[in-house]
Amino acid sequence: MWVNKNFPLQKKYQPLLGLVEEIGELAHAHLKDEQEIRGHAHEAEKLDAVGDIFIYLMSYCNAAGYDLEDIILDTWDTVEQRDWTAAPFDGKIQ
């Protein structure tokens, strides 16, 4: 596994810290884009951050023994049932 080869002593929680850092980088690039700092030249930074977010999330799940695909599918089964337009209080259609 790539993580074990490159970071053999990594603690299980460290991918979580990387994930939070990358979310900050995505927010930073988005803010600079919105403020038009250096024009709208932040797409590459945003795309890089999104990719890194997924890599860190996969690494976190692997370290914790979670099956990311199962988590996504299980969560989607719940989320897709919500309708916030029809039920703005809790999203649940009775």
DSSP conformation letters of 65-88? T--HHHHHHHHHHHHTT--TTT-T
Give the tens place of pLDDT for each residue, 19-46.
Answer: 999 999 999 999 998 898 887 789 999 9
81, part of any domain: no
pTM, entire model = 0.82
Residue 38 lies in a domain: yes
**In a domain? residue 63:** yes
Residue 46 covered by a domain: yes
| 76, burial (CB in 10 Å: exposed 0-12, middle 13-18, buried 19+) | exposed
Q: According to the model, what pLDDT value does residue 3 have?
A: 81
The answer to whether residue 74 sits within a structural domain is: no
Mean pLDDT value across residues 75-86: 93
Predicted confidence (pLDDT) at residue 6 exceeds the cutoff of 90? no
- Report the domain count for the chain: 1
User: Is the distance from CB of 51 to CB of 29 less than 8 angstroms?
Assistant: no
Mean pLDDT of 69-77: 97
Task: Give the domain extent around 60.
Answer: 2-67
In a domain, 8, yes or no: yes
The answer to whether residue 88 is domain-embedded is no
Burial of residue 8 (CB within 10 Å: 0-12, 13-18, 19+) is exposed
pLDDT band, very low/low/confident/very high, at 90 (cuts 50, 70, 90): confident
Structural domain contains residue 91: no
